[in-house]
Amino acid sequence: MTSIFNMFGKSPIKPIEEHMSVVACCVGELTAFFKAVFAGDWQEAEIVQQKVSALEHDADTIKRDVRTNLPRKMFTSIDRSDLLALFLEQDLLANRAKDIAGIILGRRMVFPEHIIASFMIYFYRSIDATFQARTAINQLDELQEVGFSGKEVRIVEHMITQLETIEHETDVLQIQLRRSLQALENEWPPVEMMFLYRIVEWVGDLADQAQKVGARLQILIAS
């Protein structure tokens, strides 16, 4: 017999938090990856790269599950297209982490000794943005609970503002890092240099992308 129990669909809120948490883990693994790379331990680096890749795959699986469980006929508390857009932004974070690990491992890239310290500062700030985005996304079920209004909204809005500040800081750090790289251009192999620029850009993408997640979240709250 059918019952009206079936009218309650699976809420997409929990999966979106779960997805973001997997994505943040994936990005977080890059810390161990860079440590291995700078120590010249390529074996360890490969193990960590595999982890990053596996986590990116897990995130994809969650995304696919939600998409199949969220047919058009679902009436959700969050607009369906906003929700799917948020998933997409979160997913791009994991993709970028996978790209970074992949290209460094694939090319066995070597970093100029004296930019490593400032690169790590820049990298840590970038992944801070991702973690901040996760903290904000984790408030979604509380937001749902209070019906997207009141004090909870202000708390999340504050988190998003902080996220923007972090992203802006990474921009400043990126400019400094590029300047240091430019000074090395004559002594470093040009092709290697090109890829170093690319890595710097991609690490910056982690912060940009985290900010986009925050922006999507803001749209969700406002709608």
Partner 1 sequence: MSSISLDLIYILLACGAGLFMTWGVGANDLANIMSTTMGSKAITPRQAIVIAVLFEFAGAFFGSGQVTSTIRTGIININLVNPEVYLIYGMLAILMAGSVWMTLASVIGMPVSITNAIVGGLVGFGASVLGVDTIHWEMVRRIAISWVCSPLIAGLVSYLLFVLIQKRILSRSQPQLAMKKFLPIFLLGVGAVLSIMVVLKGFEHFGVHFPFIAGFGLVILTSALILSLGYGLLWRIPKASHDNLHGQLVYVEKVFGILMGITACAMVFAHGSNDVAIAVGPIAAVLGVVHSGETLSAATPIPTWAVALGAFGVVLGFLTYGRKVIETVGSGITALTPSRAFSATLAAATTVIVSTSTGIPVSATQTLVGAVLGVGLARGIGALNLTVIRNIFTSWVITIPATASICIVFFFILKASFKLMS
Q: Which residues of this protein are in contact with partner 1, per CB under 8 A?
A: 1-13, 70-71, 73-78, 142, 144-153, 155
Report the amino acid identity of residue 64: R
Nearer to partner 1, 61 or 149 (CB): 149
Residue 180 token pair: 């240091």
31 or 144, CB closer to partner 1? 144
To the nearest whole angstrom, how small is the minimum distance from the Cβ of residue 79 to partner 1? Answer: 10
Q: How far is the CB of 155 from partner 1 (least distance, A)?
A: 8
Taking the complex as a whole, the smallest distance from the CB of residue 158 to partner 1 amounts, in Å, to 13
Nearest CB to partner 1, comparing residues 199 and 221: 221
CA–CA dist 183, 185 (Å, integer): 6
Instruction: Decide whether 151 or 179 has the Cβ nearer to partner 1.
Output: 151
Q: Shortest approach of partner 1 to residue 38 CB, angstroms?
A: 40
Alpha-carbon torsion angle 180, 181, 187, 190, nearest 10: -170
CB 118 within 8 A of CB 176: yes
Contact 203, 159 (CB under 8 A): no
In the block, tokens 């990053």 appear at 52
